[in-house]
A and B are shown apart, each in its own frame.
Chain A
Amino acid sequence: MSGEPPFPGFVPTHLIDPFEIYVGPVFEAGTSGAKTYAMRIEARHVNRRGVLHGGMFMTLADLTLGQAVWDATDKAAVVTLNMQCHFVKSAVEGDIIEVVPEFVRRTRALVFMRGDFTVKGEIVFTAQSVWKLLGQS
């Protein structure tokens, strides 16, 4: 496990879900609502061909977009209803993936999110997800 931040000024994201702790760490920089998240790809994240596993891409998307929803809702109870992912380019061990989650729209009960995931400034993966604020109709 590499506990070292991928870039200067990044700090570990505080994770509470066992699955996220298990596949992490993830790092962040910036202020609430406009944070950049970053993760270094390790051997345990790749598949037989040595490229980042699709499942890890999607887990990183759920984790980072979810963290951004949490920041925006004062840590409301939320669940993912739907996630759409495009695997644009492969990423390999040692690459550092970055994302700045974007808010598309927030209603009383839903939050629409999207994110472009980049390696050295080039898009490798995109995701959009719909989140439900529990207890809101």
Chain B
Amino acid sequence: MQRGRSHIALQRETPYQGTASYYAYLMTERPQGLPEEAREIPSVGFNDYVGPYYRLPDAEDGRLRRFAFVIAEKHMNAGGSVHGGMLMAFVDMAMGQTSRAETGAKGGSTVSLNSDFVGPGRLHDVVEARVRVTRRARTMIFLSAELFAGDRLLLVATGLWKVLGAP
């Protein structure tokens, strides 16, 4: 094995394949295939680690809120599809953002989430979340969401959120 500074420099350029830093290294610029109007959502912590996530313009007079991410190497499972955990993480973010926007609250926390994995997502697919509010009460909000890659349905979810610090 080569030792010394040049070896360290080489490691920095190309992290070892299959490690967490390798998958992070593959995520560099704005992914291809995103709609022009997609705007990156500033994120911290886990959302920042697994993202980036994007906001798309609302539809249906604001009743349908839309979000997107692009499937990268780090999101995959060994079978060549996007990992179910990543789809649930994305839909949780999209439904959480929607509940905050609907209520004007400081935050919210997921109480329950039910996910049906309808179809597989593939590498480089642009996944779009379409989120609707089913019912909004004072401190609780019921939501539903669908994830699409083009016209292929990937996931259907329903969830319940607790609103924190409602105005």
A: residues with CB less than 8 A from B are 1, 16-24, 43-49, 51, 53-56, 58-60, 62-63, 77, 79-87, 90
Binds A, one of B6-14, B58-66, B75-83, B124-132: B75-83
Contact A49 B85 (CB under 8 A): no
Counting CB contacts under 8 A, is B154 at the interface? Answer: no
18 examples of A-B residue contacts, CB within 8 angstroms: A16-B78, A17-B83, A18-B23, A18-B76, A22-B24, A23-B20, A44-B45, A44-B49, A47-B45, A48-B107, A53-B47, A58-B88, A60-B85, A79-B79, A79-B84, A80-B117, A82-B114, A84-B113
Q: How far is the CA of A18 from the CA of B73 in the complex (A)?
A: 7
B: residues with CB less than 8 A from A are 18-20, 23-24, 44-47, 49-50, 73-79, 82-86, 88-90, 92-93, 96, 107, 109-117
Known: A44-B49, A79-B84. 9 other contacts (CB 8 A): A19-B85, A23-B49, A54-B96, A83-B115, A84-B113, A85-B114, A85-B115, A86-B112, A87-B113
Complex interface: chain B residues within 8 A of A49 (CB): 107
Complex interface: chain B residues within 8 A of A1 (CB): 20
| A-B residue pair count with CB separations less than 8 angstroms | 134
Q: How far is the CB of A23 from chain B (nearest CB, A)?
A: 7
Contact B83 A62 (CB under 8 A): yes
Contact A19 B107 (CB under 8 A): no
Q: How far is the CA of A58 from the CA of B90 in the complex (A)?
A: 11
Complex interface: chain B residues within 8 A of A44 (CB): 45-46, 49
Contact A81 B44 (CB under 8 A): no
Complex interface: chain B residues within 8 A of A46 (CB): 45-46
Complex interface: chain B residues within 8 A of A79 (CB): 79, 84, 117
Contact A58 B92 (CB under 8 A): yes
Q: How far is the CA of A82 from the CA of B20 in the complex (A)?
A: 27
Query: What residue in chain A is nearest B116 (Cβ atoms)?
Result: A82
Query: What residue in chain B is nearest A86 (Cβ atoms)?
Result: B112
Contact A55 B92 (CB under 8 A): yes
Query: What residue in chain B is nearest A61 (Cβ atoms)?
Result: B85
